[in-house]
Amino acid sequence: MSDLEIRNLHVNVNNREILKGVNLIVRRGEVHALMGPNGTGKSTLSYTLMGHPGYEVTEGEVWFKGQNIIELEPDQRAHLGLFLAFQYPVVIPGVSLANFLRTAINSRRKVENPDDKGIAIPEFRRLMKEKMDVLQMDHAFAGRYLNDGFSGGEKKRAEVLQMAVLKPEMAIMDETDSGLDIDALRIVSEGVNTLRGPDLGVLLITHYHRMLNYIKPDYVHIMLGGRIVETGGSELAMHLEEQGYDWLREKADPLSI
């Protein structure tokens, strides 16, 4: 099974409890949107799922592909097929986007088969061009240093390109819409929609309904105070857009917010 299952997850950051019992299942082939106000724990969840060392799991489990991955290093989680698209992608001067992606592909292939010699350069070039065309990216983009001098839209397209090339089974997208204008948002969303299918599960973290106008989620979850307090269909995001969070604060257990 390639489902991502989060069970009663509690997480501390700098000795402060941020996540206070998160329960969530994301199955392959599904898109789940996670919404909530600033400071409620959405990004903490994303970094915890990928194994950031600054996030201390004090209770709970995270199961993926039949194993509890809490003790695994970030690269081990990535090799299993877990992927994180960052809200603020890191700049890596001196390393081209193409070299970064080829190294990542070869690393994963080496884990699957220690005798693998790596993806052939002509095959890799064809793959890159194919995926860049989907995202409406100039092919010259591959030669630029990773995120160095990229606009906000270019950084987010580079993140989606990584997802397209690496073909994860579970993608966590941390506020991919942050800093995007309407045109960039549409292009990035179209890229994500192109990748949707039975082999990919997506946890889409966002503040705003606008991205969900382009990427229709199967489920919407609302997080308050480090817990998921409401789950519904795409209509829940529209209701949130119209009503804000006050109705949920009134409905939720006061201890949870």
Q: Are 144 and 202 in contact (CB under 8 A)?
A: no
Q: Are 17 and 206 in contact (CB under 8 A)?
A: no
* In a domain? residue 40: yes
* In a domain? residue 156: no
* In a domain? residue 151: no
**146 Cβ partners below 8 Å, 6+ apart?**
90, 91, 92, 95, 96, 97, 100, 158
* In a domain? residue 59: yes
* In a domain? residue 237: yes
Q: How far is CA 181 from CA 17, 157, 204, in A?
A: 34, 13, 18
pTM, to two decimals: 0.90
Question: What pLDDT shows up at residue 32?
Answer: 97
- State which residues form the domain around 40: 4-92+169-256
Question: What pLDDT shows up at residue 171?
Answer: 96
90 φ, ψ (degrees, to nearest 5): -80, 140
Residue 32 parent element (H or E) = strand 31-35
**47 Cβ partners below 8 Å, 6+ apart?**
54, 55, 84, 174
Question: What pLDDT shows up at residue 242?
Answer: 82
In tens digits, what is the pLDDT along the chain, a chain of 257 residues?
559 999 999 999 999 999 999 999 999 999 999 999 888 999 999 999 999 999 999 999 999 999 999 999 999 999 999 999 988 888 999 999 999 999 999 999 999 899 999 999 999 999 999 998 877 788 998 999 999 999 888 888 899 999 999 999 999 999 888 878 888 888 888 888 988 999 999 999 988 788 898 999 999 999 999 999 999 998 898 888 888 888 887 766 554 44
Residue 15 belongs to domain with CATH number:
3.40.50.300
Q: Are 2 and 81 in contact (CB under 8 A)?
A: yes
* In a domain? residue 198: yes
* In a domain? residue 133: no
Question: What pLDDT shows up at residue 139?
Answer: 92
Strand partners, 78: none
CA 203 to CA 3: how far, in whole Å?
11
| Structural domains counted in the chain | 1
* In a domain? residue 141: no
Inter-helix orientation angle 121-134/97-112, to 10°: 120
In 3D space, the residue among 149, 238, 151, 220 whose CA is nearest the CA of residue 188 turns out to be: 151
